[in-house]
Amino acid sequence: MLDLLIVLGKIAILVGCLLGGAAFLTWVERKQSAAMQDRIGPNRADIFGFTLWGLFHPIADGIKMLVKEDLRPRFADPYIFPIAPLLAFFPAMVAFAVIPWGGTLKFGAEPDLLLIPLQLADLNVGILFIFAVASISVYGVILGGWSSANKWSLLGGMRGASQMLSYEVSMGLSAMGIFMIYETMSLAKIAQAQGDLFFGFIPAWGIVLQPAAFVLFMVAAIAETKRVPFDLPESESELIAGYFLEYSGMKFGLFFMGEFIEIIVAGSIITTLFLGSYQIPYLGPEGLQIPGLELWAMGPNFIAILQCMAFLVKTAAMVFLLQSIRWTLPRFRYDQLMKLGWKVLFPLAIANLLVTAILCLLLT
Amino acid sequence: MEFIKTLFNFPQVHEWLGQAGYPAVYLGALAGAVLALLIAAVPILMSVCLSPSRPSAAKKAAYECGVPPVGTAREKQMVRFYVVAILFVLFDVETAFLFPWAVAYDMLGLFGLIEMGLFLAILIFGYVYAWKKEALDWVY
């Protein structure tokens, strides 16, 4: 019974963080674009006269989506049309189940010691689970585009599907060097291994060991989340909104939220694989141990909370970077996008894999 | 109804997963998946209850920038999209073979490197072939 309560508690925390984070991100995105384009941004929605820098806008948006008329175009498929937003939204939420977001909480003494790892499910094929689940969102895009019976939507859906397929190959290949080095695919073990030190002072983070893979993975992740400069499936200036053009009300809201949750998940996967996950450099199980200094002892639960916050800060920084890229770069042309995916990223990822394999063999 | 009841009986589900050979950790992933579907479905159902429904012919027409829609949307698509799909199936299945190799690389050693080198050579040969046949180019 306690197990079940713990699992439900973790799910509640994750769901709260993801939905709250996604709603907050819609506000960040608008305010950030406003700041970068020298505008004011959203500032009107108020509760009893308090506007709080436009922070009530996500709430107003949510209410609007709930009470807005939900239209289905005349020739749209009656069954697939409502299912597509679910398929786009749900994989992003599920992928987070295997991401570790902190160390282990310890309660009680030895005989009935209660250990709570801050991760929903530590699958030994964790990263494969993420890739598998993330592939489902392709169905959301292409079914949404096809079932709308709209030329723009169909084109956006086709573009989205072939873009996501193309970059998935390089995404898997570029992450493979990480599995080779840490000898596991379990995200919890990868996170643990990144707490080690090289030569006693360099943290064994993925970005230190696999800098090329970091760049490749990051590019592939931006393409997978369909963000600028890879936002061709929804390019608003040519396809209006692409695959979700005909959606309105809460169904559009699900596509929208799904996209922001995908950004958070992408940021947290990059953090987990390359930026040391929840690890803080020199913070071991006993406390802070900076080389050459005395141990600064800390309790295990305090450390777990610190690690949780470190994960949050790293993920937020990655998400902010992805958002900033959005307002900095122009959009690719479609042939350029395909060329980058197949002719640049793919050979580079294979080269990185081979170099890693040879170096691993020589150094061990 | 009985089935739905047992679906929410977590110890029971736990036992089924164990009998099917899944480790207990999959329960967390399963619970997450079920809840994610619920979270996606509840707002849609709420909006069905809360939102008005006054459709008209103009509202239900496909949006083509305000111009009356021409023809059907289910038109022929460029063959390039299918080529990309075939390439994906080829290369992604081959990457799937690389995953276990990468995890067990430490145990396989030089043998593993040579074997996978041969495998990758065939993969790269196919890639060069696809490149030469211009399957990777997006021509109009």
| Structure tokens belonging to residue A82 | 């409502």
Angle B78-B79-B83 (CA atoms, 0-180°, nearest 5)?
135
Check CB contact under 8 Å for A7 and B55. Answer: no
| DSSP code of residue A146 | H
Find chain A residues with C-beta within 8 A of B85's C-beta. 161-162, 165
Q: What's the pLDDT score for residue A66?
A: 86
A343 inside 8 A of chain B by CB:
yes
| Phi and psi torsions of A30, nearest 5° | -70, -45
What is the rounded distance in angstroms from the CA atom of residue A111 to the CA atom of residue A106? 13
| Phi and psi torsions of A114, nearest 5° | -110, 115
| Structure tokens belonging to residue B19 | 């009998």
Q: Is the pLDDT of residue B22 over 70?
A: no
pTM: 0.87
B105 inside 8 A of chain A by CB:
yes
Find chain B residues with C-beta within 8 A of A179's C-beta. 99, 102-103
For A252-297, how does the pLDDT look when each residue is reduced to its tens digit (9 = 90+)? 888 888 888 889 999 999 998 888 888 888 777 777 777 777 777 7
> A144 by DSSP, 3-state: which?
helix
Find chain B residues with C-beta within 8 A of A69's C-beta. 51-54
Angle A328-A133-B138 (CA atoms, 0-180°, nearest 5)?
55
For A335-350, how does the pLDDT look when each residue is reduced to its tens digit (9 = 90+)? 888 888 888 998 999 9
For A2-49, how does the pLDDT look when each residue is reduced to its tens digit (9 = 90+)? 777 777 888 888 888 888 888 889 888 888 888 888 888 888 877 887
Q: Parallel, antiparallel, or unpaired for β A104-107 and A114-117?
A: antiparallel
Task: Tell me the C-alpha to C-alpha distance, in Å, between residue A132 and each of A14, A38, A256.
Answer: 20, 41, 21
What confidence tier does A186 reach under pLDDT thresholds 50, 70, 90?
A: confident
On whether ipTM exceeds 0.90, the answer is: no
- From the list B28, B41, B103, the residue facing A179 with the nearest CB is B103
Count CB neighbours of A286 within 10 A: 13
Does residue B73 contact residue A154 with C-beta atoms inside 8 Å?
A: yes
Give the contacts of A355 (CB within 8 A, at least 6 positions apart): none
Q: Which residue matches tokens 């080269």?
A: A351
| Phi and psi torsions of A287, nearest 5° | 155, -165
Q: Parallel, antiparallel, or unpaired for β A114-117 and A197-198?
A: unpaired
Instruction: Tell me what the pLDDT averaged over chain A comes to.
Output: 84
A246 inside 8 A of chain B by CB:
yes
Query: Exposed e or buried b for every residue in A238-273, given b needs 16+ CB within 10 A?
Result: ebbbbbbbbbbbbbbbbbbbbbbbbbbbbbbbbbbb
Q: Is the pLDDT of residue B1 over 70?
A: no
Rama region for A47: left / alpha / beta (φ>0; ψ in -120 to 50; rest): beta
What is the rounded distance in angstroms from the CA atom of residue B78 to the CA atom of residue A338? 14
Give the contacts of A243 (CB within 8 A, at least 6 positions apart): A141, A142, A144, A145, A148, A153, A156, A157, A160, A233, A234
Name the minimum distance, in Å, from the CA of B59 to any CA of chain A.
8
Rama region for A69: left / alpha / beta (φ>0; ψ in -120 to 50; rest): beta
| Structure tokens belonging to residue A171 | 């995404």
Check CB contact under 8 Å for A339 and B75. Answer: no
B122 inside 8 A of chain A by CB:
no
- For chain A, positions 122-181, list CB contacts with chain B under 8 A: 122-124, 128-129, 146, 148-154, 158, 161-162, 165-166, 168-169, 172-173, 176-177, 179-180
- From the list B32, B48, B95, the residue facing A120 with the nearest CB is B32
Q: What's the pLDDT score for residue B3?
A: 54
Does residue B64 contact residue A151 with C-beta atoms inside 8 Å?
A: yes
Check CB contact under 8 Å for A334 and B50. Answer: no
Check CB contact under 8 Å for B77 and A158. Answer: yes
CA A6 to chain centre: 24
A93 inside 8 A of chain B by CB:
yes
CB pairs under 8 A between A and B: 219
B86 inside 8 A of chain A by CB:
no
The full set of domain ranges for chain B reads 2-53, 80-132
- Best B26, B34, B39 member to test A by mutation, with max A CBs in 10 Å, is B39
Does residue B114 contact residue A195 with C-beta atoms inside 8 Å?
A: no
